[in-house]
Amino acid sequence: MNIPFENLSIHSGEKNTMDLQIIYDKIVKSNRGGWCCENNLLFSWVLKEMGYKFTILGGKVFNSQEQEFLPTDCHLINLVEIDGKQYLADVSFGVSCQIWHPLELISGKDQLQPQGVFRLINNGMKWVLEKTGRKQMVQDKAFANSSLVNKRLTKTLYSFILTPRDADHFQEMSDCLQTSPESLFMLKSICSLQTPTGFRALIGYTYSEVTFKEDSDLVDMKEIPECEIEALLREKFNLVLANKFTPKNNKADYCI
């Protein structure tokens, strides 16, 4: 929960990499976060060092606008074996869809976590992860119709198969996601951090604090002036960027 899901390097003139040593230095030594190819790859190294049996898998993220999965693996995840059972361990999806605890690889089982109910569905070789949350109660009505507010209680997140992958499998997609003008990560600057009661998120200039309640999520949103972005990243996310960061929130399918 101390490591943010973020793509701020892309909007700071830097390049994300699949080099584990560089990722380690960025996240551990420089106190940063990263996206899935960084956070989950580093986590796979942690699992290895701790002696767990694990497999790196590739996920195809669901595009809700097109109502289909992306054609290639763009989400790195880990499958971990514990006491003879397999669990999906994904520490880097961010915002309200971030898994807090490993999900047992069982089809159709509702797995309750503080942010909602996760469910894995098996369809032959393919597994699909979906999440059912609660209604979001936006405290400032000026943000009630914000595109960042989740209006779908049940969301399909991604699909995957159990074919083992390695870091090189994601290299081409990693390059594409930080160069293509159609990439979500090029269109939006994203930083989210899980907290004991919910999560925080800075999407472009919009800052959100979400608190998980029993039957709803309380959402406090506000716009942050550019001159206050640096201080907010330091105070709310414990992040200090080495280069100038330019927030971006172009139109794209993404919500908290």
- Which positions are catalytic? 36, 75, 90
**Tokens representing 8?**
């701020």
- The angle formed by the CA atoms of residues 55, 60 and 64, to the nearest 5 degrees, is 145
State the residue for tokens 């995840």.
Answer: 77
Tell me the torsion sign for CA atoms 253, 211, 233, 36: negative
- At a CB cut-off of 8 Å and minimum separation 6, what does 72 contact? 60, 173
Residues in a beta bridge with 135: 216
Collapse the DSSP code of 24 into the 3-class scheme (helix H, G, I; strand E, B; otherwise coil) and give the result: helix
DSSP designation for 188 = B
Collapse the DSSP code of 97 into the 3-class scheme (helix H, G, I; strand E, B; otherwise coil) and give the result: helix
Residues in a beta bridge with 160: 59, 127
Strands 5-6 and 190-195: antiparallel
At position 9, the amino acid (one-letter code) is S
State how far the alpha carbon of 208 is from the alpha carbons of 21, 135, 148, 220, in Å: 32, 16, 9, 6
